[in-house]
Amino acid sequence: MISKRVAGLMVHLMLLGICQADSPNVIVIMADDIGAEGLGCYGSTIYTTPHLDRMASEGARFENAYATPLCTPTRVMLMSGLYPNRTGFRALISKQPGVRLPTEIRTFGNDFQDAGYHTAIAGKWQLGKFDEHPGQPTEHGFDEYCLWSWFYGGKKSSRYYKPQFYQNGTIIDGAEKDFGPDTFRDFVLNFIDRHHEEPFFVYYPMALVHSPFVHPPQLETLARSQYPGDLDKSTQAFGHMITYMDDVVGQILARLRQHGIADNTLVLFTGDNGTGRPITSRLPGLQIKGGKGTMTEAGSRVPFLAWWPGTISPGVRDEFLCLVDVLPTIAAIADIPLKRDVDGMNLAHNLLGTTGNNRPHVLINYKQGFFVRDRMLRLNEDGRLYHIPVSSDAARYAERETSAAEFAAHRQRLQQVLDDFMAIPQQYDHRTDSPPASKKKRKKGQTDKKAAKEKRPSGDKDKSSSDDN
C-alpha cells in the first residue's frame, strides 16, 4: 500500500512534469535609468544597440510603455502588480534600519516558484539591506540570487569595478578590475545552462546603466560608432554602458538559441524610469534631456520589448502598457492563477495577438505626485493639463501645457479617473522616505486639491532623485 507521503510526492512530480512540458520559461530584464530614447530601435541617433534592435524587429516593441520616474516605486510595482500608493513605496527606499520590502507583499518570484518553476534573480535589489534582512530574496520567491550588496556593514559598495555581491547567502568582494555586470551576466547564463531542460523564471534587474558613468571593459569602439563630435564625456561613457548592456542581452538570447529553447521562452526588456538628468540623448531632429525623477514624459516613458520566436508576431504595439501590468500578464501567459487582487491588467493579448481589454490610460504615482495620461493629454495632480499626443516624439516630449476650452470635457473625465486613483489607500505598514499623503500635515480646512496646487510643480528638479543609490 502506498503511503500518503509517497502518494503526495508522486502527485507533485506529475504536476511538475506537466509544468515542464507545457509551461514557457520567462525572463524579465530591467535596465536601470534608461528612457525609451536610449535605444536605436526607438530612434536614437547616437547609441548603438544591435541586439536590442534585433530583439525589437523579431518581437513586439511597445511605443507607449510607462514606469514611475524613480527606482524604488517601479521595482515594487513591477514585482507586485500593485500601485505605489497602495504599497506605500512611493519614493526612494530609506536607508534607515529596519526598512525593507515586506514579506506580505507577494512578488512574481513567489508566484512562479509556487507554480513549480526554478527561480532566480540577479543584479540590483535595493529594497532592504542584506545584513539586516538576509533572507529577502528567498522570502520573495527566488531560489537562487546574485545581487549587488548596496549598503552592507554600514558602507556603500560598488556595483561596477571592485564590486560587492550578496550571492546565495554569502557576501563576496570582487577584485579591483572585476566589473559587476559581468558577474550578474555570468550568473544568469549559468542558471540557464543548469535549468534549460525544466521551466525557469529569471528576474534580471541590471546594474547598468545607472551613474556613476564609467567605461565598461570592452566594446568602446562599437559604442563610439555613432557619436557626434560634440558629445560630452558623461554621455560618451553612458553610451558605452548602453552598448555593453545591449551585448549582455544579446548573450542571453544567444544562450537560449544555443540550448534550443528560444521558442519556449518569453523575454521582456524594459527600464525602471527615465534617463538620468545629466544626460541629453538625441533622436532625429530632437534632443531629449533625461527626465528621471520628474512627472513628465521623459521621466516615465520607458522601452518595452517582448521576444518569443514563433509565438509573438513581430511589430510595433501602440497600446498603453504600464509596468504594473507585467505580473498579471506573465502569470496569465504561464497559466498561473493569481489568488489575490492586483492593480495591473493582463495584457497578454497585446503580445499574442488575441482579443482582450486594452489599457485606456496610464496612472503614475511618485511621492506626492500623480498623473493620468491617455493618447492625447496628461493631467497632473497639481491641475496642470498637458497636450502631449503620442503621434510623434516631438509632440510627446514637448510638455505643452494647455487650457484650451476644447479640452474641458476631457479634463473633467481625466480628473475623475485621477481622483479615484489618488484615493487608493496605503495597505502595507512600513517606512519609506515619503509618508503617505494622509499623514502629511495640512493647514486647517485645506483640501487635497489645494495642497496639490501649492506643491512644487511636478517637473521641477528634486536633488534627492538624481542619484537613487
Q: With both helix axes pointing from N to C terminus, report the angle between 326-333 and 71-80 in degrees, rounded to the nearest 10.
A: 30
What secondary structure, in 3-state letters, does 27-91 show? EEEEECCCCHHHCHHHCCCCCCCHHHHHHHHHCEEEEEEECCCCHHHHHHHHHHCCCHHHHCCCC
What are phi and psi for residue 201, nearest 5 degrees?
-130, 125
How does residue 430 score in pLDDT terms, banded at 50, 70 and 90?
Answer: low
Over residues 341-396, the pLDDT tens digits come to 999 999 999 999 999 999 999 999 999 999 999 999 999 999 999 999 999 999 99
Of 385, 383, 378, 227, the C-alpha closest to 299 is 378
Cβ-Cβ contacts under 8 Å for 118 (sequence gap 6 or more): 143, 144, 191, 195, 198, 199, 200, 201
Label residue 170 by pLDDT band (50, 70, 90).
Answer: very high
Neighbours of 236 (CB within 10 A): 17
C-alpha cell read off for 456:
512644487
Question: Which pLDDT band, with edges at 50, 70 and 90, does 157 fall under?
Answer: very high
- What's the pTM value of the predicted model, to 2 decimals? 0.90
- Convert the pLDDT of each residue in 252-282 to its tens digit: 999 999 999 999 999 999 999 999 999 999 9
Q: What confidence tens digit (pLDDT) does each residue in 106-152 have? A: 999 999 999 999 999 999 999 999 999 999 999 999 999 999 999 99
Instruction: Please say if the pLDDT value at position 251 is more than 90.
Output: yes
Question: Residue for cell digits 549559468?
Answer: 190
pLDDT digits 0-9 by tens, 194-222: 999 999 999 999 999 999 999 999 999 99
CA dist 85 and 327 (Å) reads: 17
> How far, in Å, CA of 215 to CA of 238, rounded?
8
Task: Reduce the DSSP state of residue 272 to 3 states and report it.
Answer: coil
For residues 279 and 291, what is the distance between their CA atoms, to the nearest angstrom? 9
* Of residues 447 and 381, more confidently modeled: 381
- Cell matching residue 339: 489568488
What is the pLDDT, as a whole number, of residue 452? 37
90 alpha-carbon distance from chain centroid: 14
Grid coordinates belonging to 43: 530612434
Place of cell 523564471: 201
Residue 223 — φ and ψ, nearest 5°? -60, -35
3-state SS, residue 342: coil
The distance of Cα 416 from the centroid of its chain, to the nearest Å, equals 27
Averaged confidence pLDDT in the chain: 90
Residue 469 pLDDT: 64
Say if CB 253 and CB 30 are below 8 A apart.
Answer: no
Q: Identify residue 103 by its one-letter amino acid code.
A: T
Q: Which CATH superfamily does the domain covering 19-364 fall into?
A: Alkaline Phosphatase, subunit A (3.40.720.10)
Cell 499623503 locates to 437
User: Where do you find CATH 3.40.720.10 in the chain?
Assistant: 19-364
Residues contacting 434, CB < 8 A, separation 6+: 90, 91, 367, 368
Sheet holding 362-366, edge to edge: 362-366, 369-373, 377-380, 385-387
How confident is the model at residue 429, as a pLDDT?
A: 75
Mean pLDDT to the nearest integer, 396-413: 97
Residues whose CB is less than 8 angstroms from the CB of residue 90 and which lie 6 or more positions away in sequence, other chains included: 73, 84, 365, 366, 367, 368, 432, 434, 436
Taking alpha carbons only, the member of 263, 334, 270, 337 closest to residue 301 is: 270
